[in-house]
Structure formats: structure tokens, C-alpha cells
Amino acid sequence: MRCVVQRVTESSVSVDGQIVGAIGKGLMVLLGVKSGDTEKDAEYIAGKILKLRIFEDENGKMNRSVVDIGGQVLCISQFTLLGDARGQNRPGFTLAEAPERANELYEYTCECMRKTGMQVEKGIFRADMKVHLINDGPVTILLDSEKTF
């Protein structure tokens, strides 16, 4: 499982011109499910997202998590994170999980974060979404449940 985590002052996602998820200060997460991922991968990613210390403390150091600051999470599924363009210019998506299973693990990841009390907003799986965000910093972190980066 891979994700891009961006520290934001606000973020929203819309489908067909209607906002379907929006947050204030917190994290906007793009989440891609890899073929063979399991609930264990989802639990790892959910925990890592919530524990990332990328918000500033009173000394200006990135030392606080989204939980510490009372922030929110907007989680959006994005299979293109599994795109492989190493051998060609048109990416292949054979590493991405099949849609039904990918949606199950995407929903499970969101539920894992919600179980902690975190407010988690979502996009709509497989929809054509438009994402708006104000990246704070900018701060952008890549996570991978296989810890390849």
C-alpha cells in the first residue's frame, strides 16, 4: 500500500461539481492499494498516517501529529500511485489491486483511522474527482507499507 501525505490548511474533493469531502487543518492522503495488500498493510498505513510528526510544535519543530493538533484527514483512493513508467512513457497499472478488493482495503484504512476518534473524510472510489488543497509548508511525505521508501 502506498500513499502521499500532504500537510494542509484545508482540502476538499468534489465529484460532478459537488463537494463530497472537506477538511480544515490536517492531512490530505492519496492512497493506492497494491495487489496482494492485506488488512495488516492497511493497519500499518493508518497508524503511520496518524503518528507522522509533521506539524510544528511551540519551537517551530515538526514534532506533532495530526492527532496532537486536533486535525482531520481527507483520504482519497488513487490507484495511479501504483503506476509503473520505468520501461515506457505510458504507465502500466498491473501492480494495482483489483477494484473490489482495493475498495475494501481503502474503506478499512479509513475505518482504522476513525476508530481512534479521528475525523476522516473521503472521496468516492473510482469516481472522477477534483481535489483542492492548500499544502502547508509545503510538506509532502511518501509512505509504503513494504517500507521501500
Minimum mean pLDDT among 66-75, 82-91, 102-111: which range? Answer: 82-91
Active-site residue, 18 included: no
Active-site residue, 79 included: yes
Rounded CA-CA distance 51/67 in Å is 7
If you average pLDDT over residues 21-39, what whole number do you get?
98
Comparing CA positions, the residue from 6, 4, 24, 9 lying closest to residue 134 is 9
Rounded CA-CA distance 104/3 in Å is 16
- 8 Å CB contact between 136 and 28: no
Model confidence, pTM: 0.96
- Please, what is the average pLDDT of the chain? 97
Set 6, 55, 72, 79: catalytic member: 79
Residue 107 clears pLDDT 90, i.e. is over it: yes
Length of the chain: 149
pLDDT at 144: 97
pLDDT in tens, 132-146: 999 999 999 999 999
pLDDT at 48: 98
Domains of the chain, each with CATH number or no CATH = 2-87+100-144 (3.50.80.10)
Rounded CA-CA distance 57/115 in Å is 25
Comparing CA positions, the residue from 31, 78, 69, 23 lying closest to residue 50 is 69
Residue 26 clears pLDDT 90, i.e. is over it: yes
The percent of residues in the chain predicted with pLDDT above 70, rounded, is 100
Active-site residue, 140 included: no
